Each structure stands twice: as C-alpha cells, then as structure tokens.
Structure 1
Amino acid sequence: MSRLRKLGESYFFILPSLILTLVLGIYPILWAMRYMFYDYPGYGEEIFIGLGNFDRLMRDAEYWKSVWNTAVYAGGKLVVTLPISLILAVILNRAIRGKNILRAIYFMPTVLSTAVISIVFFNIFNSFNGILNQLLLKYNLISKSIDWLGPELAMVTTIIVAIWGAIGNYMLLFLAGLQSIPEDVYESASLDGANAVQKFFYITIPMLGPVLQMIIMLAITISLKGYESIMVLTEGGPIGKTEVMYLYVYRMFFPITSSSTMIQEIGYGSAVGFMSALIVGVITVVYFWVSRRLNRIF
C-alpha cells in the first residue's frame, strides 16, 4: 500500500506537465493530422480530398524553394556558430580575469525575446535609415546605402542575426562539456610536451565527443525549425529569398497580409507542416546514423 501511495504521489506531481503536453502538444498534432486530408480554409465546409493536399504539395515550387532556403539558412548558421561557440568556450574555460562577466554577456542574447532582438537588428540593418548604413556613410566607408535586407543580402543578414543570437547558448553547452574533462589529462599532455593546439585536437575534441554529438543535433533541429527572426526582419521576402519551411507553414495558418496575398488554408497548411516535420525528422535520423557509424570507426 505504501508503495502504491508513493507511486500515486509521483504521478500526481507529473500530472500538470502531462496535461499540458496532451492539451498543447499531442492534441494540436492530431488535430492538424486530421485536416491534412481536407480542403478547409478555417471556416465553412470541410471537404474531404484524400491525398489532394500532398499532390499539390509535390507541385508547389514555392514550398520547395523554402526548403532550399532552410538548408542555406541552417547550414550558414551552423558552420559559423558552432566553431565560434567552441572557441569562446575554450577561452572562457581558462582562469582569465572577468570570465564570468564575459560568459554573462555572451549568453545574454539567449534570454532575450527573439522578436525584440529582431526589431533591434531591423533598425540596425534598415536600408534607408539604419544605424549601420549611417555609420558607414559618416566615416566614408561606403558611397551609398547598402540594401542589407534586399534580394542579394537578405539571407546573409538573417544568418548574421541568427548567429548572434545562438552563440551564447551553444557556448554554455560546450562549457559544461569542457568542465567535465579532468585537468589531469591536460597536465599529463603538458609533461609530454604537447602544445595548446595539440591539446585541443587530441584531447579536447575527442573527449567532447558525446557532448558535441548532442550539441550538433540540437543545433540542426533548432536551425531547421527557426523562422521567428526572419518573420520580423523580412517576412520571408524580398521575393521569397528568405522564405523558410516553418515560416511558409505559419503563413498558411496566419497569412502575413503586408507581404502576401495568401489566404488561410488550414488543410493544406497541415500537410505542409507534416512534410516539414518529416524532413526535419529524416535529417535528424540520418545525422544520428552517421554519427554512430563514425563513433564505431574512430
């Protein structure tokens, strides 16, 4: 009886989280999966069309362009963010003056609202009266304003904003991994004559293997699903240059009228959301498979 009581108390404590997961997580997914097979604009009659939404999806050039944009956005973000975060973590893991203050400064973007950060960067990169263009013009570094949010540079600009916001988060995760490496290993390497570069590549990287695997997986999934800052900065424009998968899904459910003539399409949006989730899931599984194979080899 006592054991059952303790078990009941345990389930009682997790009950609020379980209810929230069911109501805000599981139920919306099941709700959306139902409408994948319907032509439903969010009001009026629900018309069953079977796989019609998926047939339309396969021929939707705009969506597949957003998939490509997502790959470019995620790839550009990861290639720059992870190395910088690791280097900062290694530097701030040493006994240097003010390292705790520097850690807090680098981590600060992580606790700020994505919308607020994006609005600040919009004012910085604004093509007409942005702070960056004003400074460059003031010091005669450019002869005319640069269109940072135009067709040629919009993707680069959104990647820069994403990098700035993500470095602190991954730096903290790398720091946690670095602090789990025994100092004795580094001391032994020093006695054997190893320099800082050799210690980094032959001790730090290998011993960070499990943590690095988790961080890369987390970074991939977050980057593939990210769209909030893009929505504020460019709304997916100009001319779809920064349209990413989940922003496309968002626009199906909540059309952004200032940059699009799209109407609300719950049925088709559900199919697009399912396909986007499937793409992210497949990429994650492939990454796990490759990383496990590499672990066995090395």
Structure 2
Amino acid sequence: MILKVKNANPAVHNGGFASRKKAKGRMAYLMLSPQIIGFFVFSLYPILWAAQKAFYYYNTIPNDTRFAGLENFKRVITSDPTYWNTWLTTLKFALYKMPVEIILALVIAIFLNRNIKFKGFYRAVYFLPHIVSVAIVGLIFSNLFDYFGFVNAILLKFGIIKQEISWFSETFTSLSVLVTAGIWSTFGINVLYFIAALSNVPEELYEAAELDGAGAMRKFTSVTLPMIAPVFQTILLLSLNGTLQTNEIVLALSNGAPAGSTYTVMSYQVSQFVPGFSTGIVNIGYGCAMSLVTSVIMTAAAVVYSKLSNKMQNMY
C-alpha cells in the first residue's frame, strides 16, 4: 500500500513565503513612515487647523476668539480689494518672470549640452544661485539696487540715467527688481532639467534632419522641441507653481514697497498672519480663510493647466 502525503512541503513553503512577504510589507511601511508622519504633521494637520480657524475671529489675545461663520470668507471675496490686487501683481510677476526664465534656461542648456571645456564648472555656476538662501539673495539685490548702489553707479557712468533711481519708490521699478532677483535665483535648476532632457535626444535624429537639408532652426523646431516637450511641460508647471507661491523674495527685498503695491498673494497672506508687515493687527482666522480661498483658486488653475498640457501633448 502506498501512502501519499499531500500539501506537506507546500504548507511549509507557503508559510515561509507569507512570513517573508509580511516582513517586506512591514519594512516598506517602516521606510515610508517618515514621509507619512511628515505629511500628517506638516501638511494635513495645518490644513485642517486652518480650515477650522477660518470660521473664527481668532488672534493672539487670550479669550478673544469668537465664531464668525462665513464672515471671514465674505470679507476676502467681497471686501478686501488689496487681496485681489495682489493676485494682479502675482500674475504680472509671472508674466514678466516665466518667459525670460524658461527661454534663458533653454538657451544656456543648449549651449552647455555641446562639447565645450569646463562644462561641469559652468553647470555648477548656473546652479549655485538656486541653493543660496533667500535672505542672502535679498541682501545681494538690496545692495545692488540701493540708491547709491552698484547698478545706479554703472548706469550713471555710461550716461544711461542722469540721476540715481530710487528703485523701490515706484511700483514698476520695484517689481522689476523682484523679477530680476527671482530669475537669478531660480533659473539654474531649469538649466539642469533642460540639459537632462537634451542629453536624451538621439543624435541620429539630428543626423537624419541634416540629410534632409534641415538648418539649425528647423532641427530645433522639428526635433528638439518635440523630444523635450514632456520635460518642457514639467518645467513650465514647476515654474508656474513656484512663481504663484512667491513670498520670501518679496519680504526680503521690498516688503511690498511702495505702499504694498508689490505684495504677491502669498506675501500678503503672511502680512495677515504676522503683525507689523502691513496693518500691525493680526487676525489669524482671516488669514486662514484667505489661504483656503487661495488654495481653491490655485487648484482650479492647476486643473486648467492639466487640460491645456494634455492638448499640447496631443499636438506632438
């Protein structure tokens, strides 16, 4: 008589496999736990806290918290023209900064993608401003554009101006300084993104285009742009997101001067949370309501961009 033992070894093997799978799962959760904890502590909790405080008159004075309902939101939307003016300033800032920043980064990336000497050094030089703190950037540009600073001295020397310019006394000149500082501090990272994209374009495509008689501009429009289009869209999104959230550079350089006309949306929100930036009166509940309204607007802008981006991808 022959005895058959069923599922003896499979049970052992399945048990071992299951235990290893559980161990890997626990390890994965352990590795992800810092990011998960960081998300809850630094993202989700502040959002929920702000959402709750937005319905209150809330400031730093003890026992001075009262339920406001939708009053804070109503004030943001209908009774605070400064808030909507800061949106206009932010859009101007984006309109002036982004085209120059992206085009300049692309041109420099094309140059650095060639076989030139000291390529690594140039890449480091262009990337360096990106890692400089905003406080240092503010100090550099506030000295450059001081009334008796380097820029005025150069312009006077070459006869471009007849007297010193007070750069932060007029809205246009103050915004121009902010745009210049913003471009200088952020375009370096875009250079690296473009270099990475350009290095992945097959050289055979350029050779085929040359055989067809394509010139430099034709190769750029027919080969380079279509091949780097996905990266270009990503850079555009990151640049737009960063520009709309511009805050520190404004506070470090102009602090809204003159008369708050160069406040961006984010820097104006800070002025509502921190007394002394504008009115000297803090209303955290109102600032929370403003931040939620801003989040809704930016989310809508992201949805619109996503749809336009999909259309651009279909074009290529």
Matches for 1:1-298 after TM superposition, within 5 Å: 1-44=19-62, 45-58=64-77, 59-127=79-147, 129-151=148-170, 152-255=172-275, 257=276, 260-298=278-316
Aligned length: 295
Q: Residue by residue, what CA displacement relative to the aligned partner does 1:25-71 show, whole Å, maximum 9, x if unpaired? A: 21111111111111111332321111100111112001110011010
Contact 1:110 1:168 in 2 (8 A): yes
Q: Counterpart of 1:282 in structure 2: which amino acid?
A: A
Q: Counterpart of 1:137 in structure 2: which amino acid?
A: L
Contact 2:175 2:262 in 1 (8 A): yes
In the alignment, structure 1 segments of 5+ residues that lack a partner are none
Contact 1:69 1:243 in 2 (8 A): yes
Q: Secondary structure at the match of 1:237?
A: coil
Instruction: Tell me by how many angstroms 1:21 deviates.
Output: 1.8
Partners in 2 of 1:47 and 1:204 — Cα distance? 59
Partners in 1 of 2:185 and 2:258 — Cα distance? 22
Contact 1:37 1:52 in 2 (8 A): yes
Distance 1:247 1:138, change over 3 A: same
Q: Residue by residue, what CA displacement relative to the aligned partner does 1:125-153 show, whole Å, maximum 9, x if unpaired? A: 012x2221123334544221012222131
Partners in 1 of 2:180 and 2:232 — Cα distance? 22
Partners in 2 of 1:188 and 1:291 — Cα distance? 29
The 4+ residue runs of structure 1 with deviation greater than 3 A are: 138-141
Moved more, 58-67 or 273-282: 273-282
Contact 2:102 2:187 in 1 (8 A): yes
Q: Secondary structure at the match of 2:33?
A: helix
Partners in 2 of 1:42 and 1:181 — Cα distance? 57
Q: Counterpart of 1:68 in structure 2: which amino acid?
A: L
Q: Counterpart of 2:162 in structure 1: which amino acid?
A: S
Partners in 1 of 2:210 and 2:231 — Cα distance? 24
Instruction: Tell me by how many angstroms 1:293 deviates.
Output: 2.1
Paired-residue identity, % = 35
Partners in 2 of 1:284 and 1:125 — Cα distance? 35
Partners in 2 of 1:215 and 1:146 — Cα distance? 35
Partners in 1 of 2:190 and 2:303 — Cα distance? 21
Contact 2:230 2:313 in 1 (8 A): no
In the alignment, structure 2 segments of 5+ residues that lack a partner are 1-18
Contact 1:108 1:168 in 2 (8 A): yes
What TM-score comes out, normalization by structure 1 length?
0.95
Q: Residue by residue, what CA displacement relative to the aligned partner does 1:193-213 show, whole Å, maximum 9, x if unpaired? A: 212111111100011111111
Instruction: Tell me by how many angstroms 1:17 deviates.
Output: 2.1
Contact 1:220 1:284 in 2 (8 A): no
Contact 2:134 2:252 in 1 (8 A): no
Contact 1:154 1:241 in 2 (8 A): no
Q: Residue by residue, what CA displacement relative to the aligned partner does 1:170-190 show, whole Å, maximum 9, x if unpaired? A: 111111111111111111112
Q: Counterpart of 2:98 in structure 1: which amino acid?
A: L
Partners in 2 of 1:276 and 1:75 — Cα distance? 19
Q: Counterpart of 1:204 in structure 2: which amino acid?
A: T
